[in-house]
Homo-oligomer: A and B are copies of this chain.
Amino acid sequence: MILLSGGLDSATVLAIAKDKGFEPHAISFRYGQRHDVELDAARRVAAANNVDRHVIAEIDLRVFGGSALTADLDVPHHASVDDLDDGGIPITYVPARNTIFLSFALAWAETLGASDVFIGVNALDYSGYPDCRPEYIAAYEQMANLATKAGVEGTQRLKIHTPLINLTKAETIAKGLALGVDYSLTHSCYDPTVSGQACRTCDSCLLRRRGFAELGMTDPALGVASRRP
């Protein structure tokens, strides 16, 4: 069970899961994002990887507000990656988002009898997001194993895999390239143009660009209008 946003990280996670011999199912969310570009990217990435099944779950986090990604707040832009805020929790943080996403993955995993959930959280680049930290993931796993039939019956322990949690963006990209990930299919921008172009100046664009730059490369998705499948 892969949480697939359509971004660079989850595309890499999908490749890692396949490389480990899993037959992946992918789940994406329409959660009141201000744009659908990332779901288009998720569909492209799922199709390119022949996932067994790709489900897009409809949820609506807009009823709660509270984040620049779902409410009418401005996504911050910066001239360079050196201007990123290091302290505090970014305004792009969506309250309890990973908790909700993992809970849907848990429901589907239980229905299918699957025991492995993969999520592309990262504790380095996103240290400001509480739900990207290893201690959070460990607590979630413990809770999940008390929440389900299989956990109660002791027949199957759920494992949450976080293969990127301690990698820099450049290390993630290097790993993905080694596994054949086509990053031109992915989309990570928080604030794309109407035509689906990455903005180049939000936190996510800047972190991606730096990652590719550290490998002496140009981000293949930056500045190019998102490809349609």
Report B-chain residues with C-beta under 8 Å of the C-beta of A89: 149, 152
Q: Which residues on the B side are within 8 Å of A135 (C-beta)? A: 146
Contacts of A136 in B (CB 8 A): 143, 146-147
A143 and B146 in contact, given A96-B110, A104-B100 (Cβ under 8 angstroms): no
Known: A95-B107, A103-B99. A152 touches B130 (CB 8 A): yes
Q: Measured between alpha carbons, how far is A131 from B55 in the docked complex, in Å?
A: 24
Minimum Cβ distance to chain B for residue A130 (Å) = 4
How long is the Cα–Cα vector from A144 to B130 in the complex, in angstroms?
10
A173 within 8 A of B: no
Q: Given contacts A135-B146, A136-B147, is CB(A106)–CB(B96) below 8 Å?
A: yes
State how many angstroms separate the Cβ of A162 from the closest Cβ of chain B.
14
Number of A residues, CB within 8 Å of B? 42
B-chain residues with CB within 8 Å of residue A57 when the two chains form the complex: 59-60, 63
A148 CB contact (under 8 Å) in B100, B103, B130, B149: B130
Residues of B within 8 A of A93 (CB): 149
Asked whether, in the complex, the Cβ of A99 is within 8 Å of the Cβ of B144, the reply is yes
**Number of copies of this chain in the oligomer?**
2
In the complex, per-residue mask of A124-146: 1 if CB is within 8 Å of any chain B CB, else 0: 00000011010110011011101
Residues of B within 8 A of A64 (CB): 55, 107-108, 111
**A66 within 8 A of partner (CB):** yes
Q: Contact check, A63 vs B55: say whether CB atoms are below 8 A apart.
A: yes
Q: Which of A89, A99, A111 has the most CB of B within 10 A?
A: A99
Q: Which residues of A contact B (CB under 8 A)?
A: 55, 57-61, 63-66, 89, 93-100, 103-104, 106-108, 110-111, 130-131, 133, 135-136, 139-140, 142-144, 146-149, 151-152
What are 16 inter-chain pairs, A to B, with CB distance below 8 A? A58-B59, A64-B107, A64-B108, A64-B111, A66-B111, A95-B107, A95-B108, A95-B148, A95-B149, A96-B103, A99-B144, A100-B107, A103-B103, A130-B146, A136-B147, A139-B142
What are the 9 closest A-B residue pairs judged by CB atoms, nearest first? A66-B111, A96-B107, A95-B110, A139-B143, A130-B152, A136-B146, A100-B103, A96-B106, A95-B107
